[in-house]
Amino acid sequence: MNIAWGITGAGEYLEESIKVMRESSEGHRITAFLSLGGEEVLRIYGLEKKLKEICTGDYLREVFYQSKEGQSAPPVGRFYLRRYDLLIVSPATTNTIAKVANGIADTLVTNAVAHAMKVKVPIAICPTDIKEKTIELPYSINKEICVKCEPCAAEKACPRNAIKNYSIELKKCISCGICEEACEYGAIKREKVKITPRKIDLENLEKIKEMGIKIIEKPWEIIEIITQP
């Protein structure tokens, strides 16, 4: 099976999605389509290298970046040529869900969804906001705990120069955790927060279901979809 896999700018379910993608790549060819947000979170969570180990660059095993493909997004034309048997979007941000529900196709991933729908390629989407839950955020520095050491041990230890003026620049951060280990005061960590989907988020999910798109709650459900006869 040839699978197109869209990744949007959500940290939640990202690591699980990459794990499922790796497992699914055994016996199937996977092409990754990254939105601008998807490009950022892969780097922030340190998962870009793992993605490239799955999508090696061979035909139908590529990684397409929105930042490189431009507005016309030529790779999505493959859907018209029936090069893909299935489109997965995991993880899918609330913004992506809203765009799909309202027919907006202005990112590489939502454009892929629109093209897949036009030629009836099956689509499964794993949204991040489907029910109340606790999520883990990227690394940050708690300013109430930070004592502003001179020099800052975490800044000195960071291999990406992502820490400046006692703040973490997430676009450079790869979530290696070295800064957390370097800070002796425990000021750096990944905070957990409880989130609740908005009413409009749930309404958009219902709209998408009515379009014939399958909504799944966890990335691991993708394996069941792929292995169905």
> Which of the following CATH numbers is that of domain 133-194: 3.40.640.10, 3.40.1230.10, 1.20.1530.20, 3.30.70.20?
3.30.70.20
**pLDDT per residue over 39-58, tens digit each?**
999 998 889 999 999 999 99
> Which of the following CATH numbers is that of domain 2-130+197-227: 3.65.10.10, 3.20.20.370, 3.40.1260.10, 3.40.50.1950?
3.40.50.1950
User: Is the Cβ–Cβ distance between 35 and 6 less than 8 Å?
Assistant: yes
User: Is the model's pTM score more than 0.85?
Assistant: no
- What is the predicted pLDDT for the residue at 130? 87
- The strand pairing partners of 155, in sequence order, are none
- What is the predicted pLDDT for the residue at 229? 66
- How close are the terminal C-alpha atoms of the chain, in Å? 11
Task: Tell me the domain boundaries of the chain.
Answer: 2-130+197-227, 133-194
Task: Find all residues with CB under 8 Å of 81, minimum gap 6, and list them.
Answer: none
User: Is the Cβ–Cβ distance between 95 and 10 less than 8 Å?
Assistant: no
Compare 132 and 26 and report the one with higher pLDDT. 26
Mean pLDDT of the chain: 93
- What is the predicted pLDDT for the residue at 116? 97
Compute the distance between CA of residue 161 and CA of residue 63 in angstroms, rounded to an integer.
Answer: 26
**pLDDT per residue over 160-199, tens digit each?**
899 999 999 988 888 889 999 999 999 999 888 888 889 9
Q: Which residue in the block uniquely carries the two structure tokens 């790796």?
A: 22
Tokens of 185: 């005061």
Ramachandran area for residue 177 (φ above 0: left; ψ -120 to 50: alpha; else beta): left
Q: Which residue in the block uniquely carries the two structure tokens 């409880």?
A: 194
User: Is the Cβ–Cβ distance between 3 and 88 less than 8 Å?
Assistant: yes
For residue 206, the 8-state DSSP code is: H
| Residue % of the chain over a pLDDT of 90 | 82
- What is the predicted pLDDT for the residue at 146? 95
Residue 48's SS3 state is: helix
